[in-house]
Amino acid sequence: MKIRSSVFASLCLIFEIFGIALFLRGFFPVPVKSSFSSKSKLSDLPAEPLTGNSPNSSKVPASLFRRVVIVVIDALREDFVFGPKGQQYMPYTRNLVERGSSLSFVAKARPPTVTMPRIKALTTGSIPGFIDVVMNLNSPALLEDNIIWQAKAAGKRIIFYGDDTWVRLFPKHFMEYDGTTSFFVSDYTEVDNNVTRHLDSTLKRDDWDILILHYLGLDHIGHLSGPHSSLVGPKLLEMDHILKRIHASLISRETEGSLPNLLVLCGDHGMSETGSHGGSSEPEISTPMVLISPAFRRKAGMETPSTVEQVDLVPTLALGLGLPISQNSVGRLIQPVFQGTSLRDQLRFLHLNGFQLSCLLKDSMPAFEKEEGYEQFRVAEKSHGSWMKLYLEGNTSEVLSNMGRKVLKQYLEALQAMSAALSRQLGKYDMYSMVVGMVLVLQVLLLLLIAMPEALSNSAEVELPLASALLSLPFYLLCLLCCSVHVLVCTSAEASCYLCGLSWGLVLVATAFSCGLLCMLLSLANQKMSPGSRPAGKSSGDSCFSELDILLLIGTVGHVISLGSSSFIEEEHQTWYFLLNTLCLAVFQDVCRKYFRERRGTGDEGSYLPSKEGPPASLSPAGELSVGAGSEKWLALATPLLTLACCRVLRSLNQTGVQWAHLPDLGHWLNSQEHKAELSLLAAASLVLMFFLVQRRCSLVSKIALALGLLGVYSYRAAVGNVLFPWQPKEGRDLSKGTVEARFVYIFVLGILFTGAKDLLRSQVISADVRLKSRGLWEVYSGVVLLCALLLRPHNLPVLACCLLIQTVMAQFIWKELQYDAAQTTIMHYWFGQAFFYFQGNSNNIATVDISAGFVGLESYVEIPAVFLTAFSTYAGPLLWACHLVCYLTSEHHRSAASLGHGCYCFALLRSIPVVAYILLITALRYHLFIWSVFSPKLLYEAMHMLVTTIVCVFFTAMDQNHTSRS
Amino acid sequence: MRDLEIKGMVSAHAIIASSIFVATVMPLFFVDNFSIYGTHLTWLYSVSGSVSVVNITVFWLLGISPPTKKHTLSYKVSRAVRSCLYFILSCLLFHAVVVLYGAPLLESALETFSLAVLLSSLTTLRCLCVLGPSVQAWIRVFSREGAMSVWDTSLQITTACSVIGAWLGAFPIPLDWDRPWQVWPISCSLGATFGFLTGLVIAPAWIHWHPEVLGRSPG
Ligand SMILES: [Zn+2]
Ligand SMILES: [Zn+2]
């Protein structure tokens, strides 16, 4: 079967997507969960361990606190309370911490330090799987056993004010609630006022038991201007004041004889030095946890807070409120909280916590009996029983209390061991799915590589021996073998494999497919190996690589190798910037060689220059920058230098990565309040430049639409409050969501895309005109540019403008003039795309994804558009360069009809190599220390990039199809 | 003839290489607390100074420098001045390129410039010695198949090796190992020096094993 290389590349990419999806399914562990779908019940609680029989043995623990107020301050870092900032801005809280009856801890949040997984951890006590981050955008109701549900089931009345993630997670759980969206990161007063306005009336009332407040303002300030911003101080003061109000009210309503109240102050996660969160750096995972209640003894002075896990709050609160601990909690109770109770009660609480953990352990680990913690728990339970016996006999001697303390210690050790064992359990992988996915991806990559000579030949067609592979005996034997392996694996291992849960028909189809691929691969390899049967269209007879080729090769290979190091993943942008610079210098050298050798006029290089120059004017698209022949040389020389300068400016626009992320960058400078005028000017200039660069190749209608669209972009930014609008009252205008303006732009985007699609269709169906097709492509491209301009933050508009500028000059003076072939041009486009991905402020950390792009022009959260827009704006750089590649190669069609196919093939190969290498690497490094903080986010980025590339390649194929069906 | 030339080149290269070692060892006796990492800039200046002096002396003694048409003093002076100018220009050019590669613009400008000086003395200075201050000749030598003598080839190889060495030297910087040699610009200047030394070794060997290269000189 003969197929074109573009079709071949797209098919390969699509299959790779399946392989990657399977790998991801196996790689990201499903969080530890007990298999019971029910929730813990009070009646299920075990009796107090006792050797003999006793009447009051199955006593349900009594509640320790009457009312609980939980104040969650988003992104409250540990040093905001315990550090110098706390001393300065949170005087009341500090006073309570130092001298009040309170308990302070540093609670460690597990990565991913993103709000929703953290809320889940704070309520269920489980450690959410990494994949929960991806699901952070849409948070469906929490079905797992959790403390909110338990409290509601026990008849507690809960009131909630704050981040509406809670409302989505716990619908119908709250007696009263008011959720505020974290819609605009630039808003850090309104979100908090929406919470505080309910405070006075609520505190006066008596009809609630639990009050939860979640303040978002601090997090927004962090995202806006970092932890050292001047806005942090006032915000902390405000929070301190709120705590004072709550505490004063709780104290005033404290009555003699009734149970004490509890006030909990905690953060869901910390804040890195740049103000973002999501990773696992120390400032991101360290949050303060302050428990304030008259039940605790007064402090004499500041003590260094001890460290606990964030999830430890769940069993502590549950037992403190007399509720069962939720099933999946891996936390251990915070012992000092129960210090004031009798020894018997303390042991009882520890026993309950231990029992819950041991149940979870039994459920999630087949070999639980070998676990050290389980053993310890059994021993502790026994000695607890004998202690109880002595106690009930009325023994009150010193021996009893000593023994009791020993039991307590045993329990604490058992809890620690069991908790650690459960956390370890998180690192389990579904190796079967991973291996199958890996094999699939590897096969596709080998197929791509083996077909390289044919795919890059002049005909750009690949001969796939599909029929012979499918009809051969080895194929059936392989199928049989794979099926038996599948049966073997699924019957031997526990049913934790994803593949084993699939239906048989699906597995059979997949097996047949994979085996067919392998057979095809083998027969292709066999063809290549046997001499004499070389394909005729092999073009790379002269194996003379230029310096540029060597650089492109070394760069690609070197980048792949660098993925093995966590530092290079964190600082991947440096790799790309470095390679891009070297590329520009190599191009510069090529230009110099071309223009300066020309002057010497030696014979052997004569073929290098003239005659071919100047493509037929009729074919070159309208609107090339018109330049004289003399200045062309100097412009060509200046182009790489201009590119270098642009790249240098852009790299200081957004400081990304980890090591140097704290350094000040232009983006922060522009975003600060006092430089609004500069930002407005820069944004406006970029938009104008973009208009002039893009409009040259479009039809008149599109030109007008583009101009209006770009104007709409500016007015959208002005409406949201990012930039200034010249004729607009400075004061007294309220920020809107800018929905109208954004939708106005969307209309133009759709309009331009529609015009482009219409041209493309017409060129295919009716007139078969290359110019029409080229114009259609450019229109699609300008639609994409307009959408990018809308979604990117205003300080990133120069990135977009520079991108267009570099594309224009490089296309005209370098790629065309120096006659780089499709493969070289594609690799350069890919490199530029990668560098621009980082120029726009992305990194390999989940925290840098700009989620606000998903809300542009939407009144409320709508899942599908939000995900699409976020993905689009994140991959704007690579996408724009890929689009430009399609346009460029199409407009260059006259040179080689196969160039589009070559480009598509190279693009697919360039993406496949790092992905496959990375999948192999991450499998090998799956027990690496940084696997969850560094390698996994990168894997998600790679998978997402693969998806984007596949879409682009399918577009490529469609364009290629049009051409060949025409000619 | 060729063997003689290669022998001469080997001895010249040996002298230059040994001058680098001497420049690394000598300051131990004169400067307190001298170490390559600790007082990196001192080491850097010492190496670039000694390489410059030795290069100039060796090439002057060997008489490789391009024949001068006139032997008047004023012509020689103007050549020297032009050479100095070219050297300074090349320092600035290297500085600019290093900044484009991402070195900080203002802070640690001295370190960046020192690296530029080192690179210039490893590359440009040799070009000045062998080819003289003539752009035409430089472009010829650094074009493909532009070498006309063994010294041209040696120049190509050592220059390329120094630059590639500095280029490779930049790779360890992002690693989070916190080693003393990861401080800017130590790894780059060490890389450039090692690259230069490698070039000095490779050049005669390359010429020895590839005798056909010179037979293909254009024109
Ligand atoms: Zn948060
Ligand atoms: Zn946040």
More reliable by pLDDT, A181 or A207: A207
Q: Identify the nearest ligand to the CA of A75 by its number.
A: 1
Q: Which two tokens stand for residue A352?
A: 């309950």
Helices A5-27 and A936-966 pack at an angle, to 10 degrees, of 160
Residues with Cβ < 8 Å from A584, sequence gap 6 or more? A640, A641, A643, A644, A647
Show Cβ contacts of residue A715 under 8 Å, excluding neighbours closer than 6 positions: A725, A741
Q: How confident is the model at residue A578 (pLDDT cuts 50, 70, 90)?
A: very high
Cα–Cα distance, A771 to A616 (Å, whole number): 13
Interface of A with B in 588-647 (CB under 8 A): 592-593, 596-597, 600, 602, 604, 644-645, 647
Q: Which residue has the higher pLDDT, A559 or B215?
A: A559
Burial label, A540 (beta-carbon count in 10 A; 0-12, 13-18, 19+) = exposed
Q: Could B174 and A567 be called an inter-chain contact, meaning their C-beta atoms sit closer than 8 Å?
A: yes
A424-433, A495-504, A696-705, A917-926 — most confident range: A917-926
Query: Which of A149-158, A538-547, A771-780, B11-20 has the least mean pLDDT?
Result: A538-547
Helix (H/G/I), strand (E/B), else coil: A427: coil
Best B107, B108, B143, B178 residue to mutate vs chain A (most A CBs within 10 Å): B143
What is the pLDDT at residue A508?
87
What lies within 8 Å, CB to CB, of A123 at 6+ separation is: A142, A146, A147, A148, A169, A170, A314, A326
CA atoms within 13 A on the CB side of A286: 18
Q: Which of A101-105, A331-335, B33-37 has the lowest mean pLDDT?
A: B33-37
Calpha distance A712→A744 (Å, rounded): 7
Instruction: Report d(CA A910, CA A528) in Å as an integer.
Output: 22
Residue A909 Cα, gap to closest chain B Cα (Å): 25
The distance of A630 to chain B (nearest Cα, Å) reads: 20
β-sheet bridge partners, residue A215:
A73
DSSP structure string for A150-186: HHHHTT--EEEEEETHHHHHSTT--SEEEEE----TT
Chain CA centroid to CA A542, Å: 45
B183 CB neighbour count, 10 Å cutoff: 14
CB contact under 8 A, A602 and B139: no
The single-letter code of the amino acid at A651 is R
Chain B residues with CB under 8 Å of A575 CB are: 174
Rounded Cα–Cα distance for residues A439 and A22 (Å):
11
pLDDT of the residue at A965: 46
Cα-Cα end-to-end distance for chain B: 22
B156's CB contacts (< 8 A; 6+ apart) are B141, B142, B147
Residues in B closer than 8 angstroms to A597, CB to CB, are 143
The confidence score (pLDDT) of residue A538 equals: 40
B175 and A568: CB-CB below 8 Å?
A: yes
More confident residue, B173 or B214: B173
Q: Is A603 helix (H, G, I), strand (E, B) or coil?
A: helix
Measure CA A644 to chain center: 30
pLDDT tens digit sequence for A88-131: 999 999 999 988 889 999 999 887 788 888 888 899 888 766 66
pLDDT, tens digit (0-9, with 9 covering 90-100), for A122-158: 998 887 666 665 555 444 677 778 899 999 988 899 9
Closest CA to B51 of B87, B79, B80, B77: B87
pLDDT confidence bin for A828, thresholds 50/70/90: very high
- Nearest residue to A958 via CA among A878, A890, A866: A890
How far apart, in Å, are the Cα atoms of A515 and each of A19, A436, A470?
A: 14, 12, 9
The pLDDT value recorded for residue A802 is 93
Average pLDDT over residues A459-464: 80
Q: What is the pLDDT of residues A795-823, one digit of tens each?
A: 899 999 999 999 999 988 888 888 888 88
**Residue A133 confidence (pLDDT):** 55
| DSSP for residue A265 | E
Q: Which residue is it, tokens 């299920």?
A: A44
Closest residue on chain B to A644 (Cα): B100
Alpha helices (H) in chain B, listed in sequence order: 2-25, 27-30, 40-62, 73-100, 109-122, 124-131, 135-141, 150-169, 186-209
Considering chain B, what percentage of its residues have pLDDT values greater than 70? 90
* Per-residue confidence band for A183, with pLDDT thresholds at 50, 70 and 90: low
- pLDDT by residue (tens digit) across A600-641? 443 333 333 333 333 333 334 444 555 566 788 888 888 999
Which of A567, A644, A659 lies at the smallest CB-CB distance from B100?
Answer: A644
Distance from CA of A838 to the nearest CA of B (A): 14
Bridge partners, residue A307, by sequence: A106
Alpha carbon A589 to chain centroid distance?
Answer: 39
pLDDT 10s digits, B103-122: 888 888 898 999 999 999 98
Q: What is residue A169's predicted lDDT score, i.e. its pLDDT?
A: 85
Run of H or E including A107: strand A102-108
Q: Calculate mean pLDDT across residues B126-140.
A: 81
Distance to chain B for A568, nearest Cα, Å: 7
Q: Cα separation of A478 and A456, whole Å? A: 31
Rounded to an integer, the average pLDDT of B170-176 is 83
- A577 contacts B102? CB cut-off 8 A: yes
What's the pLDDT score for residue A627? 56
Query: Could you tell me which of A181, A111, A169 has the C-alpha nearest to residue A138?
Result: A169
Mean pLDDT over each residue of chain A, to the nearest integer: 82
Residue A267 has pLDDT above 50, yes or no: yes
Predicted confidence at residue A733, as pLDDT, reads 56
Tokens at residue A633, please?
A: 């040389």
- Among the partner residues A567, A593, A600, nearest to B175 by beta-carbon distance: A567
- How far apart (Å, rounded) are the C-alpha atoms in residues A818 and A612? 11
Across the interface, whether the CB atoms of A604 and B218 are under 8 A apart is answered yes
Other Cβ atoms closer than 10 A to A879: 23
Buried/exposed code over A549-578 (b: 16+ C-beta within 10 A; e: otherwise): eebbeebbebbbebbbbbbbbbbbbbbbbb
Domains by residue range for chain A, with CATH: 66-254+268-340 (3.40.720.10), 568-603+623-896 (no CATH)
CB contact under 8 A, A647 and B100: yes
Whether B100 and A659 lie within 8 Å, measured CB to CB: no
Integer-rounded Cα Rg, in Å, for chain A is 32
Distance CA A344, CA A391 (A): 9
pLDDT in tens, B45-91: 899 999 999 988 888 887 766 666 666 788 888 888 988 999 999 99
ipTM reported for the complex, 2 dp: 0.90
Contacts for A628 with CB less than 8 Å, ≥ 6 apart: none
pLDDT band at A427 (very low <50, low <70, confident <90, very high): low
Mean pLDDT within A48-54: 59
**Closest residue by Cα to residue A192 from A152, A154, A237:** A237
**What six digits make up the tokens of A726?**
């010249």
Partner residue facing B176 (CB), from A567, A585, A647: A567
d(C-alpha A353, C-alpha A344), whole Å: 14
CB contact under 8 A, A602 and B219: yes
Higher pLDDT, A52 or A435: A435
Contact assessment for residue A616 and residue A894, using Cβ atoms and an 8 Å cutoff: yes
Mean pLDDT for the stretch of residues A208-212? 92
B102 CB near a chain A CB, below 8 Å? yes
Q: Is A73 helix (H, G, I), strand (E, B) or coil?
A: strand
- What spacing in Å lies between the alpha carbon of A219 and ligand 1's midpoint? 6
> Which pLDDT band holds residue B126 (cuts at 50, 70, 90)?
confident
Mean pLDDT calculated for residue range A308-335: 90
Which ligand is closest in space to the CA of residue A220? Answer: 2
- Of A752-761, B63-72, B173-182, the poorest mean pLDDT is in B63-72
CB A326 within 8 A of CB A40: yes
Neighbours of B92 (CB within 10 A): 13
pLDDT above 70 covers a percentage of chain A that reads 87
Ligand 2 centroid to A244 CA: how many Å? Answer: 25
More confident residue, A296 or A137: A296
Contact A484, A944 (CB under 8 A): no
Count CB-CB contacts under 10 A for residue A295.
Answer: 20
A129 or A72: which carries more pLDDT confidence?
A72
What angle (nearest 5°) sits at the alpha carbon of residue A668, between those of residues A665 and A670?
105
B101–A578: do the CB atoms touch at under 8 Å? Answer: yes
Please, which pLDDT band fits residue A241 given cuts at 50, 70 and 90? very high
Q: What pLDDT score does A611 carry? A: 34
Work out the pLDDT band at A894, boundaries 50, 70, 90. low
* Residues whose CB is less than 8 angstroms from the CB of residue A39 and which lie 6 or more positions away in sequence, other chains included: A145, A149, A150, A153, A326, A327
Instruction: Give me the residue from A571, A597, A647 closest to B143, CB to CB.
Output: A597
A68 pLDDT higher than 90: yes
**Cβ of residue B175 closer than 8 Å to a chain A Cβ:** yes
Give the pLDDT score at A643: 92
Q: Is the dihedral of CA A616, A618, A623, A627 positive or negative?
A: positive
Is any Cβ of chain A less than 8 angstroms from the Cβ of B106? Answer: no
Closest listed ligand to the CA of A74:
1
Compute φ and ψ for A291, nearest 5 degrees: -110, 125
